Structures are given as structure tokens and as C-alpha cells.
Amino acid sequence: MEFISQPWAWYVAGPVIAFVMFLLYYFGERFGLSSNLETFCSIAGAGKFVDYFKIDWKQNSWNLVFVAGGITGGFIASQWLSPTDMVALNPQTIQDLADIGIQNAGASYLPDEIFSIETMLSVKGFFILLIAGVMVGFGARWAGGCTSGHAIVGLSNLELPSLISVIGFFIGGLIMTWFILPLIF
């Protein structure tokens, strides 16, 4: 049980990811989580209103099983395989977050200053999450996929658009971390 409850070393996790990518490539499938939003919208009938969602969602049913497995696995891991809610963060990161008003960084996976019910129901918190959600959704569609699709699948297939997208993700993350996040908090 110790083996499964601890983070896996790169030399274990890397080959497992590579093997899964090989299987997906072999069977002609592509992995990415943002494409499941299209599938869910299509199932819900969005194709009646927007042509973009007029797809045969049954072709992506394997990906829905993957999402269900991810949700189930995440629940099992958080309930029974996580020894603590503490997150191992660099002390400098904890100090930097405290300087912008995020106290007790690392005490849990989701800081209360962003994800508590009280924060989400405040005007500021609501708009932060709304704008962030729209930006992530728009960005994933504009880039032709999400971070997992580009960084794992696209780069493993040596696709130039994925390399450009991943570089953009990193630049956007740096801008958010060093310039925008301190302004918000």
C-alpha cells in the first residue's frame, strides 16, 4: 500500500505514460480532457443550437470512461490513499503566497482564500472564478486542446502546434504568477 500512496518516481511514471500514449496512438485515439466538454455538450443537446456541437458523441465514449475513471480514482486517492492534506511546498513559495494574502499555503490542496464557499459567494471571488473559467475554456478551444492534450499527446507525437501551445501555457503561467495574481490579492 505504501507504493501506491506515495508519489511515483519519474522513471516509473514516465514509462507508464509513454506506454499509455503508445496504446492510444496504436488504436488511433487522442487523449485530452477539454474535448470531453464537447462530448458532454453534445449529449446534453447543444447541437440543436450550435452547429459546432453536432458530433457523434458515441465515437468519444471511450474518453468518457477515462473521465469517469479519473473522477473515481481521484475520489479514492483523496479519501483513502492520501496520508495528509498537507502539500509539500518550498518555504519561499509559502512566504511569497503569504505576502499576497494567501495564509496557510500548503495546509490543504485548495487555499480558502480562493476556493472557500464564502470566497466563491463574494463578488470578487465569483468574478475571479468566472473570468478564470471563461479564459481557460476559451484558451483550450483557441489552442485546439488543453494542457494535457498538448503537453502529453501533442509533444509525444512531435507536433509543432503543441510545442507552441505548451510554450504559451508556460508564459501565461509565469505572467499569472508574477504579475496578475499579486494584483488580484
Residue 174's pLDDT band (boundaries 50, 70, 90)?
very high
Please report the pLDDT score of residue 53 as a whole number.
85
Q: Band the pLDDT of 41: cuts 50, 70, 90.
A: confident
Would the pLDDT of 160 be above 90? yes
- Give the pLDDT confidence score for residue 75 in this predicted structure: 92
Task: Return the half-sphere exposure (C-beta side, CA atoms, 13 A cut-off) of residue 182.
Answer: 8
State the average pLDDT over residues 117-146.
88
Question: Which spans in the chain are helix H?
Answer: 2-5, 10-26, 35-43, 61-76, 91-99, 112-115, 117-121, 123-142, 147-148, 155-156, 160-175, 181-184
How far is C-alpha 40 from the chain's CA centre? Answer: 17
**What is the pLDDT, as a whole number, of residue 1?**
66
Which has more pLDDT, 94 or 34? 94
pLDDT above 80 for 70? yes
Segment 144-169 shows an average pLDDT of 87
Nearest to 72 by CA among 80, 61, 83, 60: 80
Question: Cβ of 34: how many Cβ atoms within 10 Å?
Answer: 19
Q: Looking at residue 28, what is its pLDDT?
A: 82
For the question of whether the overall pTM of this predicted structure is more than 0.75, the answer is no
| Alpha carbon distances (Å) from 55 to 28, 40, 51 | 18, 11, 9
The mean per-residue pLDDT over the stretch 4-20 comes to 86
